[in-house]
Amino acid sequence: MTVTGGAAAALARPRVDGGVPVDISRVPAREAAERELSDPRYHENDPNLLQRGLNRFWEWLDDLFGAASGATPGGVLGLVVIVLAVAALAAALWWRLGTPHRAPGTTGDSLFSDGPRTARDHRTAAARHASAGRWNEAVQERMRAIVRSLEERTLLEPRPGRTADEAAAEAGRSLPSHADDLRLAARTFDDVTYGGRTADEPAYRRVEELDTALERTRPTLDTTSTGTPA
């Protein structure tokens, strides 16, 4: 015997007491299934919220790299080479330029951050920092010693708020043979004080040698703008 059409559908329906078929419509059936699946027993081994978030992130990252590698010559290998090249270029620029420091003369860039001290005081502090390997502090104190010494010799007029760059430019006019070294010392001071750079022993020794050389150098009188040199 062949079962067709409505007869097959009728046989497929569940039957209850007395063989009467139960016809469940689509919406109530879906709601019943959702209620059943919402039972906590079915979700005991589900990943927690953090795990689901991480899974979504890694899926997104995988899709991103997949799309990028598909558009890059050489596929994944080509993408890795490009990423490494960009990282190397960024590192080279950082090493060459350093962290940009503030322009001279802005608030807070004063060379002397504490009360007045003599050049000898600053030299003593610089030597103490150098002996402990604190090269940043040693450079700072030695540069302050240079400027304070020039003020004590009346080659620079004492002026609150003066920056290292300003002091180097002013001193270079009366000590032209050391103008370049003064600018370099001021740049080193700015780099370690405002630019986030780290000094080393050779950097400190250059500033120390400049300090010693300036002590033995007589100024050029016709370019001195501040009084009579000591």
The pLDDT of residue 63 is 73
Q: What DSSP designation does 176 have?
A: G
The pLDDT of residue 42 is 60
The pLDDT of residue 19 is 53
The pLDDT of residue 81 is 63
CA 161 – CA 166 distance, rounded (Å): 10
The ranges of the chain with pLDDT < 50 are 1-12, 16, 99-109, 223-230
What is the b/e burial string over 175-189, where b = at least 16 CB atoms within 10 angstroms of the residue's CB?
beebeebbbbbbebb
The pLDDT of residue 229 is 43
The pLDDT of residue 218 is 84
Output the pTM of the full model.
0.50
The pLDDT of residue 73 is 60
pLDDT tens, residue by residue, 62-85: 776 666 666 656 566 666 666 777
The pLDDT of residue 87 is 80
The pLDDT of residue 114 is 61
The pLDDT of residue 52 is 76
Per-residue CA distances from 113 to 143, 145, 164, 172, 197 (Å): 13, 13, 12, 23, 19
- The identity of residue 148, as a single letter, is R
pLDDT tens, residue by residue, 115-128: 678 999 999 999 99
The pLDDT of residue 104 is 41
CA 98 – CA 87 distance, rounded (Å): 15
Q: Dihedral, CA atoms, 86, 92, 98, 99, nearest 10 degrees?
A: 10
159, 153 Cβ separation under 8 angstroms: no
The pLDDT of residue 188 is 95
The pLDDT of residue 134 is 95
